[in-house]
Structure 1
Amino acid sequence: MDAALAVPREVPPATAAGRQVRRRPRGGRWRRAALAVLVASAVALPVAGAARPRVPAPPPAALPPPAASTLDAIYAANRANAREAARTAASHGDRRRAAADRALAGPARQLLAFDGRGPGRATEVLGDLARAGRVAVLVPGSDTGLDTYGRFRAAAVALHERLTREAPAGTRTAVVAWLGYETPGTISTTVATTGRAEEAAPALTALVRDVRAVAGQRSRVSLLCHSYGSVVCARAAARTDADAIALVGSPGTGADTAAGLRTRARVWAARGTGDWIGHVPHLSADLFGTTVGFGTDPVSPAFGARVFAAGDGGHSDYFAPGSTSLANLTRIVLDRTGAVTHD
């Protein structure tokens, strides 16, 4: 699949999906062995981009409270901030970041939030949020930042195009691409723990509150959560006013069951048959005061989510145009749940 049409590709830890899984040692020994591999992989392997200097940028723009009447002003202020961030990045010789910032500053871009500092954060709206009756919020997984934002946005574009085609007459839709937290690196200690998700959860809760302030309380909001993003959604679920939560390519959520998320939202889950994350042990344990691993597999009967078909795609293919997973995610967002297909 073309990387430009994929959710950012997350590479599996070097050994977590290899020999340990095929041997299937049992009981406590398996648990300890799998967790040891997981932690060792995160600690011993080099972290991609760890030596990359933090990118300087101006602080975020001062914005009015989000509302239908203030959207244009918010979009304009964030575009201006992105232009300034591009100039700053260019002056420091970071051409890659400067190009990413300039793209976000384009006249047609609708930025609900933007922060060019460090790995960067951005929240972009596709569609008319103020009049949308169906809103999808995309929550990305690891290794997503402004430098790789184009790939994440491509997933949002693919979903928005399909929603626009399939929405019933008179139903407006919008997609919110939420890069609102510092995602963990795939090869890092943080990707195996809930720390980044716990930090991100309040921001996701606030984002959904802002979406409802703009679109209206009667709009239907779905969270589509990819990979580590599913851990973020799980941490936010109890305090976030969503109607549906879809977990795709999830390593687990940190909860034993869907009911343990304590949400009124309908919880869905899917994994493509070609997704390597299905080989990662679904375990959880406290090590050195930190919880490592995310527990029950969200597509297992024990978790209790509504499992839908995702086809034979890999870890980065859930939003690929024409895919089974994208078709079903579109139906979930449109609340056409009777049309969702199952394996």
Structure 2
Amino acid sequence: MGLRGRPRPDAPTDPVGRLRRGLLAALVTAAVVVPVSAAAAHPGVPAPAPARVTAVRAATLDDAYAANRANAAEAARMAADDGARHRAAAVRSMAAPGRHFLSFDARGSGRAVEVFGDLAKAERVAVLVPGSDTSLDTYERFRAGALALHERLGKRAAVVAWLGYETPGTISPAVLTTGRGKSAAPALRGFIREVSSLNPRAQVSLLCHSYGTVVCAQAAEGASRGSGASGRRGGLDVSDIVLFGSPGTGADSVAELHTDARVWAGRGADDWIEEVPHTKADLFGTTVGLGTDPVSPGFGARVFAAGDGGHSDYLKPGSVSLDNLARIVLGDASAVTRA
């Protein structure tokens, strides 16, 4: 992969060339940034094994929540004893009364699945899937979006903040491939099945941000291939799949997802993700790049207006994007403003 001089402003731009230059920049930056970020995240902080929770049912939700709060409290004590003050503070807040975790694991970068609202009785359930650089150490910003969405939806709905996978770093080689998404997809499919079993009357929507759109796309595509898949919506039992702030999903069109769910896409006018090369190339035996831009006409999604916000503003209270996301979850598709 050779280096060339910067092209003239009026010179045509080769998509694969742009991808290669972007990859090189990511690799170089990752070599410097990723080790520092990993050190800051205290990957070696001791933590207990996750609480043993039986299959979650409506009657056992409170027991699961209590067990996971107790596990978070123990994780906070262990982190504090190890001198990891930032991790200890982050996890200690998760042990507070009123926090509702279906699952919790403080080992490594961490996993957490938190519920806002009454999951067993909700008419609508929104499952939020986060993007890169989301971990227990940065969880509060993810949680803030989930809280804003739940407040906008009202008591008819529940929101689940699903940090069920190891997210890639924003500046890392992993964010340029579908690998993390493919690894996370089975867990997301399993969780959707659990929600459908717990509350079969609820309409479930997947709301997927940034690299989380890769996870959701891989979950939908994998569900359609799975043997014996029998969900009422093409294997993945959801009514809507919403892709926002997406760098691409690994799929070139909605048709490749093989889902009967409505597929939506949106991007804020000030979102830097627009500059990501939406293409794929085979480099060193690995497919790098995430393919077609989901808001492009060729992808085939229903494109909704996302306002003037940036990459982290989609769930900002009062925003155009939050209003439209809420309308989608509530099944009010006709009221969604289009881009």
2:50 to 53, 57, 60: 60
Aligned to 1:252: 248
Identify unmatched segments of 5+ residues in structure 1.
1-18
Whether 2:336 is the aligned partner of 1:340: answer yes
Aligned to 2:204: 221
Whether 2:106 is the aligned partner of 1:116: answer yes
- The one-letter code sitting in structure 1 at the alignment partner of 2:255 is A
Cα distance in 1 for residues equivalent to 2:10 and 2:184 = 36
Asked if the contact 2:210/2:244 (under 8 Å) is kept, the reply is yes
- The one-letter code sitting in structure 1 at the alignment partner of 2:240 is A
User: Residue 279 of structure 1: CA displacement?
Assistant: 1.3
Write out per-residue CA displacement over residues 86-132 of structure 1, whole angstroms, 9 at most, x where no aligned residue: 00100110111111111111110000010000111100000000101
Count of aligned positions: 315
1:188 to 169, 172, 180: 172
Q: TM-score, normalised by structure 1?
A: 0.89
Cα distance in 2 for residues equivalent to 1:190 and 1:335 = 35
Aligned to 2:187: 203
Identify unmatched segments of 5+ residues in structure 2.
1-5, 224-235
3-state SS of 2:131 partner: coil
Could you say if the C-alpha distance between residues 330 and 191 of structure 1 is closer, same or farther in structure 2, counting changes exceeding 3 Å?
same
Whether 2:285 is the aligned partner of 1:267: answer no
Cα distance in 1 for residues equivalent to 2:244 and 2:9 = 23
Cα distance in 2 for residues equivalent to 1:129 and 1:84 = 26
Q: Which has the higher contact order (CA 8 A, sep 6+)?
A: 1
Aligned to 2:37: 49
Could you say if the C-alpha distance between residues 176 and 294 of structure 1 is closer, same or farther in structure 2, counting changes exceeding 3 Å?
same
Cα distance in 2 for residues equivalent to 1:73 and 1:82 = 14
State the Cα RMSD in Å: 1.5
Cα distance in 2 for residues equivalent to 1:24 and 1:338 = 43
Sequence identity, in percent?
63
Could you say if the C-alpha distance between residues 21 and 113 of structure 1 is closer, same or farther in structure 2, counting changes exceeding 3 Å?
farther
Asked if the contact 1:141/1:183 (under 8 Å) is kept, the reply is yes
3-state SS of 1:49 partner: helix
Aligned to 2:138: 148
Ranges of 4+ aligned residues in structure 1 off by more than 3 Å: 19-24
Cα distance in 2 for residues equivalent to 1:185 and 1:292 = 15
Whether 2:226 is the aligned partner of 1:230: answer no
Q: TM-score, normalised by structure 2?
A: 0.90
Asked if the contact 2:16/2:280 (under 8 Å) is kept, the reply is no
